[in-house]
């Protein structure tokens, strides 16, 4: 769903911090999602999961809506920052002892897409000061955009440990009769489409202004190799 109830945003940690950045339908008291992480986090709210289903791996493709605070200037025009964009979201529910291994797998999934596109990229582990309110550990995947001469963040992958699970009462049981424990949750973009499109266009633009289609995408383009 693109619209959720307020409790869903408390569970995934978007509230109270990002209240001013979220579109709100006051009449229906529904909130527009800024990422598919929000509904995915709430899929198993107030549930006790059996050990043998973990890790649970989800992926969602959705529109995202954000009240970005934007001033004038070229850096806020066009695709780079917008109030609506599309994004693929990866999400995992897992055990505490395996969550950091699962985090590394998610980083590889996101970086693999940059590699397949043939675009220069890097993986950056974020320092404590750059971590969000929820995350215990976070990586960014960035693609190089030669036109604007900067690294564009196309994916953020986070392990939030039991933060969301505690808010959402999401637990698992190791065996019959055992006390339930909180799961760990992880989320990551794979990838945010507008900035990925910028990186593709700027890295594959040719001298005559045409744009070569990355080889990995040509089968989805009906065999088209160049956009003129």
Q: Are strands 30-32 and 24-25 parallel, antiparallel or unpaired?
A: antiparallel
pLDDT computed for residue 81 by the predictor:
67
In the chain (228 residues long), the average pLDDT of successive 10-residue segments reads: 96 91 95 96 98 97 84 58 87 98 97 96 96 94 94 96 98 96 97 91 96 95 94
**What distance lies between CA 43 and its chain's CA centroid?**
17
pLDDT computed for residue 18 by the predictor:
86
Active-site residue list: 66, 81, 153, 156, 195
The three-class DSSP label of residue 1 is coil
Nearest residue to 119 (alpha-carbon basis) of 1, 204, 208, 52: 204
* CATH architecture observed for domain 36-227: 2-Layer Sandwich (3.30)
Domain locations in the chain as residue ranges: 36-227
Beta bridge partners of 189: 89
pLDDT computed for residue 70 by the predictor:
59
CA distance 119 to 145: 9
Q: What stretches of 3-133 adopt beta strand conformation (E)?
A: 3-4, 24-25, 30-32, 48-50, 56-65, 84-94, 121-125
pLDDT computed for residue 123 by the predictor:
98
pLDDT computed for residue 4 by the predictor:
97
pLDDT computed for residue 205 by the predictor:
96
Helices (H), 34-98: 37-41
pLDDT computed for residue 192 by the predictor:
84
Please, is 24 exposed, middle or buried when counting C-beta atoms within 10 Å of its C-beta (0-12, 13-18, 19+)? middle
Nearest residue to 55 (alpha-carbon basis) of 11, 12, 103: 103
pLDDT computed for residue 59 by the predictor:
97
Nearest residue to 148 (alpha-carbon basis) of 93, 216, 104, 195: 195
């Amino acid at each position: 769903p693109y619209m959720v109830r307020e409790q869903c945003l408390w569970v995934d940690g978007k509230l109270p911090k990002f209240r001013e950045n979220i579109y709100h339908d006051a009449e229906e008291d529904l909130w527009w999602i800024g990422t598919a992480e929000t509904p995915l986090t709430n899929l198993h709210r107030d549930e006790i999961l059996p050990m043998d289903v973990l890790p649970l791996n989800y992926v969602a493709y959705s529109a995202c809506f954000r009240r970005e605070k934007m001033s004038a200037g070229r850096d806020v025009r066009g695709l780079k920052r917008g109030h609506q964009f599309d994004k693929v979201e990866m999400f995992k529910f897992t055990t505490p002892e395996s969550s950091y291994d699962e985090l590394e797998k998610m980083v590889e999934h996101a970086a693999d897409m940059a590699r397949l596109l043939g675009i220069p990229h890097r993986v950056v582990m974020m320092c404590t000061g750059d971590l969000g309110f929820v995350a215990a550990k976070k990586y960014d995947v960035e693609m190089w955009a030669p036109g604007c001469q900067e690294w564009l963040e196309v994916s953020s992958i986070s392990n939030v440990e039991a933060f969301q699970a505690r808010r959402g009462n999401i637990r698992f049981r190791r065996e019959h009769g055992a006390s339930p424990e909180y799961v760990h949750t992880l989320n990551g973009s794979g990838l945010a489409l507008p900035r990925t499109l910028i990186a593709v266009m700027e890295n594959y633009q040719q001298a005559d202004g045409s744009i070569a289609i990355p080889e990995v995408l040509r089968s989805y383009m009906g065999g088209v190799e160049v956009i003129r």
